Amino acid sequence: MIEPLWVIIPAAGVGQRMQANCPKQYLSLEGQTILDRTIDIFISHPLIAGVLVGVGENDAYWPDSKWRQHDLVHSFIGGEERSDTVQKGLHYLLDTLNPQQQDVLVHDAARPLLSQEALNRIINHHSEQGALLAMPAKDTIKRQVIDSLSVDETLDRDAIWLAQTPQKFPAQALLSALKKAQVQGVVVTDECSAMEYVGWHPDLVVGESSNIKITLPEDLLIAEALFSYLSGSNLLN
């Protein structure tokens, strides 16, 4: 039997690369904010115990979220980097909400198009070493010569995957890996990197190309087109 999971949604970034006039998670995607749509993915899933949303310290938009007062939704103040926000969420979960919680999911606020099918794939995937959604590379991948815009080599595409979220790990192990990486000054851009740093080999679970992270202005246009296609074809449910 699968234990209900908590999900941590880091949503404390400023969205610098998006160059919008508000943090990108508060931009509108077909009438709702990106963050509200992301929370929506998890809120009525039968195996989600609760949703922890990490917001910026001076976030003026979160109070207007439709989920702010929902019983299953808890917010906390995020940190300087994404990994700090996740650490804070893990502390909130383990110190206050459920010290016994085993596994936890982490999912970017900026990925509002995750389908229930892909969510179920990661929830139902059993692994001793954790797991993440990821997509096999489909392009020919070049590594550049350091400090020069010329090609050093072509990488073996068969061994390259593009990391997505959700990522699923035991909460205590993830917290201690993130702390260790931080103390050693190692930059980790996702949970998997922290676990790799402490010697784990998390499982790759096939994600979906529509589970994009909205990062650049053009990603919002792509997300709008994808949303309209996916919702019209009932593929988000």
Ligand X SMILES: C[C@](O)(CO)[C@H](O)COP(=O)(O)O
The residue among 68 and 197 lying less far from ligand X, judged by its C-beta, is 197
**DSSP class of 163:** E
Q: Which among ligand CTP, ligand X, none contacts residue 165 (Cβ within 5 to 8 A by kind)?
A: ligand X
Q: Angle, nearest 10°, between helix axes 171-183 and 82-91?
A: 140
**DSSP class of 26:** G
Q: Which among ligand CTP, ligand X, none contacts residue 38 (Cβ within 5 to 8 A by kind)?
A: none
Q: Which of 83, 101, 164, 211 contacts ligand X by CB under 6 A?
A: 164
CA distance 125 to 123: 6
Contact status: 59 vs ligand X (CB under 6 A) = no
Contact status: 193 vs ligand CTP (CB under 6 A) = no
b/e burial code for range 100-128 (CB count within 10 A of at least 16 → b): ebebbbbbbbbbbbbbeebbebbbeeebe
Q: What is the DSSP string of 55-102?
A: E-TT-SSGGG-TTTT-TTEEEEE--SSHHHHHHHHHHIIIIII-TT--
The residue among 127 and 212 lying less far from ligand CTP, judged by its C-beta, is 212
Contact status: 108 vs ligand X (CB under 6 A) = yes
Q: Which of 39, 41, 53, 109 contacts ligand CTP by CB under 6 A?
A: 109
Q: Which of 4, 43, 74, 81 contacts ligand CTP by CB under 6 A?
A: 81
Q: Which part of the chain contacts ligand CTP (CB under 6 A), choosing from 10-18, 60-68, 129-137, 168-176?
A: 10-18
Q: Which of 40, 215, 227, 230 contacts ligand CTP by CB under 6 A?
A: 215
Nearest C-alpha neighbor of 81 from the set 194, 2, 166: 194
CA distance 96 to 123: 23
The residue among 45 and 213 lying less far from ligand CTP, judged by its C-beta, is 213
User: Minimal CB distance to ligand CTP: which residue?
Assistant: 13
- Give min distance, CB of 79 to ligand CTP, in A: 6
Q: Evaluate whether 223 touches 212 at the Cβ level (below 8 Å).
A: yes
Contact positions toward ligand CTP, by CB under 6 A? 10-18, 25, 54, 78-82, 85, 108-110, 213, 215
